[in-house]
Structure 1
């Protein structure tokens, strides 16, 4: 800082206040000269000292149910990259049992170790809502719409519509959706888009199987579909894990994919290694995580955040799990 002051010809205190947003009244030309010299020598304000002055921790929390789930992992990576660019470190709390999410929230915020929190748990429990109300901290929900806070999501209905149209264009007339309980708004919106297109095409009602959005959930759901009186020929799986489970169940039952039944999933960019490679709809997960950090920063700085739907349209990744229906 002394070198910057010497180069510009001002006091060290003036440099300090300009670079640390001290609110000092300085001529625009002098302020710009200080900033230019600081950039030239790659000067960065001392983060710890700045945080002590502003009573901030310089940390953001992320609360999620399963870090091994590739969908959550990609979202978290996007959030972490944006947080790093903004000068924050991130603390991750994994909650395998979402009924305990309120307790995890309390652990993160009770000692004020974070400036804000990104919440990626699947469902809003009464305990979680009460914890947020009793111990408020700037927070943003990601990949979930919420009645108790701002949210950053993708257009799940558009993904559902694209899945239905892809199967219909391949010739399918009997379709099914493997999803979660309607309390999970992402599942509800994906189903809504899927059903809208099916109804517009004059198809029979969509078969619904509700269960855990996991490999096991997809495995069990596919068994139920294969046992149905009217077996569907095309299946839309809630996410890549559900799709992988569905493929495994078909293989166990001796049902060929895609010769006997077609399967398409959401968020399956990495499903190229399944057998057969899983046709999928890619959504901008990393962008969603990054935007959540941007909106969270707005809250921390006292600005008004927004509910955001990422406007990047879903993209079909056509592989080998979708074909025309079998001859009936």
Structure 2
């Protein structure tokens, strides 16, 4: 069967070929909602696919967005990018995905490859302390996730890590815990993000000596090994703040293996609030990020014609379950 053309769509929709172009190129002339709907219905019926390369050459817009993901197995990352892909499709954009697998060298390589594919904007979850200096950021817009500070040539979108951790620590203090250790990843070249800053600030505000921070990777195994080190230390804490749900999952396994009752002997709070946190025993109390809000803001930023570098911090929600010591009597 021959491939449908713009002329075919125009005939079926009873419009000119120029109107078909206006619909798929989003201009330069406006098309009424009723006519647009008729053109799109005709295109779907004919399985018409516009030539994106030719359109990009004509308009300078590829209607393609790129994403570089550092860990495709992380449930939180998956939630953000799944929502982002769906929202982009609703706006007529396609997405190209690449994985860095935690390698800064590969991160720069796939970033350059996506830029060469003429993406209009690029979303990146960095695996290092990224400044984007080696990358040509003038050729497309950059939106950086999980960085809670300003960058000179990109928009950064993140949960307000510091505020979230202070909220979580305040809850642990209310339970009477003053000897609290933190387990957190150090993937950003050892640079402390807002989670660590919020952690220290929570202790300073109350005049309490800060607990120990055990650095590891943002993985289940990282949390498991870090928790074993904490349990083998002479000054065992009464509570743990985990920097991610994956870390918390590993920490819970280590505590269960050592016969530590949670939360009776050791409480734990986690950061992320992915679906996995609802299926642990006990259920994890979490600082819940909002992947849908992050994705929505990221797409709005990416397609904004007046794009300019900026910082956006979103609030996390304290979701109280059992691992902190609350609600145990209901189970």
Query: What TM-score range do you get, normalising by the shorter chain?
Result: 0.7 to 0.9
Pair 1:62-2:70 in alignment:
no
Residue 113 of structure 1: CA displacement?
4.3
**Unpaired segments of 5 or more residues in structure 2?**
1-9, 44-48, 327-331
CA distance in 2, matches of 1:266, 1:210: 15
The equivalent residue for 1:143 is 146
Query: Is the 8 Å Cα contact of residues 163 and 194 (structure 1) preserved in structure 2?
Result: no
The equivalent residue for 1:104 is 110
TM-score of the superposed pair, with normalisation by structure 1: 0.81
Number of matched pairs: 304
CA distance in 1, matches of 2:58, 2:156: 30
CA distance in 2, matches of 1:223, 1:255: 11
The equivalent residue for 2:173 is 168
Query: Is the 8 Å Cα contact of residues 143 and 186 (structure 1) preserved in structure 2?
Result: no
Pick one of 237, 246, 253 that aligns with 1:241.
246
CA distance in 2, matches of 1:216, 1:18: 52
CA distance in 2, matches of 1:160, 1:252: 27
Residue 54 of structure 1: CA displacement?
1.0
Query: Is the 8 Å Cα contact of residues 239 and 266 (structure 2) preserved in structure 1?
Result: yes
The equivalent residue for 1:289 is 295
Note the aligned Cα RMSD (angstroms).
Answer: 2.9
The equivalent residue for 1:279 is 285
Residue 239 of structure 1: CA displacement?
0.4
Change (3 A) 1:216 1:37: closer
Change (3 A) 1:186 1:248: farther
Query: Is the 8 Å Cα contact of residues 183 and 226 (structure 2) preserved in structure 1?
Result: yes
| CA displacement 1:260-312 (0-9 Å, x = unmatched) | 111110113321211222211111122112211221212xx4x233524244x
| CA displacement 1:205-258 (0-9 Å, x = unmatched) | 221111111111111111222223321111110000000011111112221111
Counterparts of residues 108-187 of structure 1 (less than 5 Å)? 108-110=114-116, 112-124=117-129, 129-132=133-136, 136-144=139-147, 145=149, 146-181=151-186, 183=188
Counterparts of residues 199-218 of structure 1 (less than 5 Å)? 199-218=204-223
Query: Is the 8 Å Cα contact of residues 59 and 89 (structure 1) preserved in structure 2?
Result: yes
| CA displacement 1:82-128 (0-9 Å, x = unmatched) | 21121111111011132221111122223x242221111231358x6
Pick one of 32, 35, 40 that aligns with 2:32.
35
**Unpaired segments of 5 or more residues in structure 1?**
7-11, 25-30
| CA displacement 1:36-88 (0-9 Å, x = unmatched) | 44156364797536445213332211101111110110111121122112111
CA distance in 2, matches of 1:249, 1:147: 42
TM-score of the superposed pair, with normalisation by structure 2: 0.81
